[in-house]
Amino acid sequence: MLKFSYCNATDLNQALVQCRFAGSFGPLSSRRRSPRAAVSCSRSNLTPIQAVLSCQQQVGSDPVESELGSLADRLRLGGLTEDGLSYKEKFIIRCYEVGINKTATIETIANLLQEVGGNHAQSVGFSRDGFATSPTMRKLHLIWVTARMHIEVYKYPAWSDVIEIETWCQNEGRIGTRRDWILKDVATGEVIGRATSKWVMMNEDTRRLQKVSDDVKEEYLVFCPREPRLAFPEENNKSLKKISKLEDPVQYSRLGLMPRRADLDMNQHVNNVTYIGWVLESMPEEIIDTHELQTITLDYRRECQRDDVVDSLTGPELVEGSKIHGTNGSATAITREDDLDCHQFLHLLRLSSDGQEINRGRTEWRKKPT
């Protein structure tokens, strides 16, 4: 799968060919401009943001000529917003993306978040590897890797619903960057979900983390909002919550999970969305049958490859000071005082062979709407 794949230089050219600005027209360009020119557009004497905006406006005002733009761009129904600082795209939920609840699965949602993140990167001229490897990063063999992913879904879309996802990215600390998303139901306009993710920079050869140098920062920060804009602006929100490590003995487990061919990206690493599926594999069936996933937070620790075998472990999250709520004589979860139908769990994925942690997670579940 083309996810978090570490592209080489030829891929950048290919990605730029598909760039929205490749077919654009206006004072800075001629009809069939070379792919490279799209990036240089942002290095002209205009400030980068102004250049981006002027290209964008040309696309909008000269539509007949835009036949030369890629057909997929026309149909992609996504584009940078007017200020150029975020990207929006619409998606229709297809029937095979819907699960046992007749609503989109969390994996579908996660796939769409990644799709729109990649399309955002591509639309500003960066390569499609899940976030954006800027030209300098590729020269230095630097890539982004996901450190944390946090998704909250308030209302799951059903088959043939159309949702709009807006995404943007920002600096985060010295070694990180974040990408945020807001999901809306196009028909009602209501926000149906939010997500945020934290990424760190790694050298793809040494696999060591690296600080975000200033010239790399400059390259991509022009496309990020200047003022901090958070999908989760509220204080002490759950996306910041530390996840404790689940200790043995665990209550629920599913052992011996193996990657399928379709789970692997071009570099034979398991893609991030597969981990979500694995985490849910060890959820007790009585919760899956009666509840839907409201929140999932995953901390990614270690990559997983084709021949790895993984154990998925789940246990209730113990909250200090709450009562233990017994069901059928066994403690399934701690209920929060204010929400009796909510269950919280901790998760751990580790290698079967030596117990090394791959990632840890936290989920919250609410009763299914009737």
Site residues for other proteins per CB under 8 A = 1-3, 18, 63-64, 66-67, 69-72, 74-79, 90, 92, 94-96, 98-102, 105, 107, 111, 114-115, 118-119, 128, 160-162, 186-187, 256, 258, 260-262, 264-266, 268, 271, 273, 277, 280-281, 288
Nearer to other proteins, 75 or 233 (CB): 75
Cβ burial 212-236 (10 Å sphere, 16+ → b, else e): beeebbebbbbbbeeeeeebbeeee
Nearer to other proteins, 151 or 334 (CB): 151
Cβ atoms < 10 Å from Cβ of 194: 20
Quick one: DSSP state of residue 274? Answer: H
Task: Based on the residue annotation, tell me whether 328 is a catalytic residue of this protein.
Answer: no
Nearer to other proteins, 140 or 252 (CB): 252
Q: How far is the CB of 259 from other proteins (least distance, A)?
A: 10
Nearer to other proteins, 209 or 255 (CB): 255
Residue whose pair of structure tokens reads 């979860």 in the numeric block? 333
Q: How far apart are CA 311 and CA 164, in angstroms?
A: 35
Q: How far is the CB of 283 from other proteins (least distance, A)?
A: 8
Nearer to other proteins, 5 or 335 (CB): 5
Task: Based on the residue annotation, tell me whether 267 is a catalytic residue of this protein.
Answer: yes
**Are β-strands 162-172 and 176-185 bridged in parallel, bridged antiparallel, or unpaired?**
antiparallel
Nearer to other proteins, 163 or 212 (CB): 163
Task: Based on the residue annotation, tell me whether 269 is a catalytic residue of this protein.
Answer: yes
The catalytic residue among 19, 41, 304, 343 is 304
Q: How far is the CB of 82 from other proteins (least distance, A)?
A: 12
Q: How far apart are CA 116 and CA 168, in angstroms?
A: 10
Q: How far is the CB of 18 from other proteins (least distance, A)?
A: 6
Q: How far apart are CA 165 and CA 13, in angstroms?
A: 27
Cβ burial 171-192 (10 Å sphere, 16+ → b, else e): ebeeebbbbbbbbbbeeeeeeb
Quick one: DSSP state of residue 251? Answer: S
Q: How far is the CB of 118 from other proteins (least distance, A)?
A: 5
The catalytic residue among 269, 291, 343, 347 is 269
Q: List the beta bridge partners of residue 363.
A: 296, 345
User: Are 270 and 318 spatial neighbours (Cβ–Cβ below 8 Å)?
Assistant: no
- Using DSSP's 3-state secondary structure scheme, residue 61 falls into helix
Quick one: DSSP state of residue 317? Answer: P
The catalytic residue among 8, 13, 203, 267 is 267
Q: How far is the CB of 271 from other proteins (least distance, A)?
A: 8
- Using DSSP's 3-state secondary structure scheme, residue 113 falls into helix
Active site residues: 267, 269, 304
